Amino acid sequence: MGPVDVPEDASFDDRCALFDEPIARAAGALNAAHAHLVELTEQLIDTDTWQQGDCRTPEAFLRWKVGLSPHRAEEIVAAARERSHRPATYELFDEARISLDQLTASLRGPRWADTKIADFIPLAPVTKIRVAMRPNNFEPDPDEPTPAPKPADDRLSYGPTDDGRWRISGNLPLEDGLRIEQAINERRDALFNDGNENVTTPQAFVDCFDRSLAAVESDSRRDHYRTWLHLDVTDGHTTTTDGWQIPMAMRDRILCDGIIQPVWHQDGIPFSVGRNQRIVPERTRRIIELRDRGCRTPGCTNQHVEIHHIVHWLDGGTTDTANLISLCKYHHRLHHQGELEITGNADLFDHVEFTFTKTGQRCTGVAQPTPPTEQPDQTPRYEPPLLGRFDWNYIGLGWVHPNAQKLRLEQLRAHLDRSDPRAA
């Protein structure tokens, strides 16, 4: 379509009017493309055609072929699985009248309310659709048993943030959470009794894990879980093993009270141990983990890795960084089963090739998309939803299962018959 030609002397209202139609066409084209992708994904799932290369799930196939994020791939697959169960909603979707996000939000509602939901979602933005799809807005079929609530999945995530901090978030069973609370309370009381009158809950939380690491008896195991910092002696650049840069002030404080393990380099490549040692030393392991930052297999996002010799030790391979690579357990096993061939120099960017031995197909992280050829006048136009205030009492009316409505009418007639004097 190209950019919009905006005259320099155009008023604000005129500029807005110039963009209305191109944006509506672009949104319509995006909706149509998503609808086509969902339709294709449904066919891929029905025919099991997604089982190509290294893909273990339909979501992995979409991440590879379409370059989607894990979250977006999950949404596309979920939409594809629901396609045959909600004809009214998907008619709107296929006509590009609703977006993928509007569709995804509407899937939280029950299937039996498909027609009622389809009347509502073209008018509502995503945030209001999510509110409207809450379970308490729908009265189900009284003849159907109430489904048991799904148990919540245990969840715990943690890691560095973009602003140089570290965050942790989780969702655990109540009994586990209460034990964690008591452990933090015990550490806070202990630190207070040791003279730290201003001890905080975060300090007590960290102290729990300091004690856990200090309790490890094996020196080798303790070193394996030590926090390693990689210091560049030329410019002072300091990073963790997973690549996060340490602020200068924090680096200086750590160096005053830390154990420095030098890693010697020649021409930018760390010295290796060659054929002198088969087992990868801990120092070399950390270098490989810093370089690869997760499984090196294209498209794999697994961060829990094992170090692998590209040329096997028994075949004359050396324990050098160029011959060592990070692989997750799945791809490591796949290689040793003879299904994934790995060749190349791991120290050089994009110089390692992964090939599936059965098909001879090279494993790549993202497939190359085909540019669109559709003309602008052929793309559908998207009408945006309403942004005004919603009357939620009105929205909820009528979202009742037909069997529940029938039961209400029968109860009402029975009540009228009992109250009518003529019935006696």
What mean pLDDT is predicted for residues 208-228? Answer: 74
Return the H-helix or E-strand segment holding 205.
helix 201-214
pLDDT number for residue 227: 63
Distance from C-alpha of 38 to C-alpha of 41, rounded to nearest angstrom: 5
pLDDT number for residue 252: 59
In the chain, the amino acid numbered 351 is H
Query: Which three-class secondary structure string do you get for the chain?
Result: CCCCCCCCCCCHHHHHHHHHHHHHHHHHHHHHHHHHHHHHHHHHHHHCCCCCCCCCCHHHHHHHHCCCCHHHHHHHHHHHHHHHHCHHHHHHHHCCCCCHHHHHHHCCCCHHHHHHHHHHHHHCCHHHHHHHCCHHHCECCCCCCCCCCCCCCCEEEEEECCCCCEEEEEECCHHHHHHHHHHHHHHHHHHHHCCCCCCCHHHHHHHHHHHHHHCCCCHHHHHHCCCCEEECCCCCCEEECCCCECCHHHHHHHHHCCCCCCCCEECCEECCCCCCCCCCCHHHHHHHHHHHCCCCCCCCCCCCEEEEECCCHHHCCCCCHHHEEEEEHHHHHHHHCCCEEEEECCCCCCCEEEEECCCCCECCCCCCCCCCCCCHHHCCCCCCCCCCCCCHHHHHCCCECHHHHHHHHHHHHHHHHHHCHHHC
Lowest mean pLDDT among 339-353, 355-369, 370-384: 370-384
How many Å from the N-terminal Cα to the C-terminal Cα in the chain?
Answer: 77
Distance from C-alpha of 364 to C-alpha of 357, rounded to nearest angstrom: 14
User: pLDDT: is 364 or 153 the higher one?
Assistant: 153
Token digits of residue 308: 């692998």
Lowest mean pLDDT among 120-134, 193-207, 315-329, 365-379: 365-379
pLDDT number for residue 88: 95
What number of other Cβ atoms are within 10 A of residue 408's Cβ?
Answer: 13
pLDDT number for residue 348: 83
Lowest mean pLDDT among 16-30, 176-190, 248-262: 248-262
Token digits of residue 218: 């094996």
CA atoms within 13 A on the CB side of 109: 30
Mean pLDDT for all residues in the chain: 81
pLDDT in tens, 122-144: 988 998 899 889 888 888 888 87
Name the one residue in this structure whose structure tokens are 């990073």. Answer: 239
pLDDT number for residue 290: 77
pTM over 0.75: no
What mean pLDDT is predicted for residues 360-386? Answer: 70
Q: Which of 13, 19, 60 is nearest to 41 (CA)?
A: 60
> Going by C-beta distance under 8 Å and a sequence separation of 6 or more, which residues neighbour residue 309?
317, 319, 323, 324
Q: Is the pLDDT assigned to residue 95 strictly greater than 70?
A: yes
Rg (CA), the chain: 30
Q: What stretches of 107-154 adopt beta strand conformation (E)?
A: none
pLDDT number for residue 368: 63
> Going by C-beta distance under 8 Å and a sequence separation of 6 or more, which residues neighbour residue 116?
398, 399
Q: Is the pLDDT assigned to residue 299 strictly greater than 70?
A: yes
106-120, 281-295, 296-310 — most confident range:
106-120
Distance from C-alpha of 10 to C-alpha of 161, rounded to nearest angstrom: 43
pLDDT number for residue 162: 74
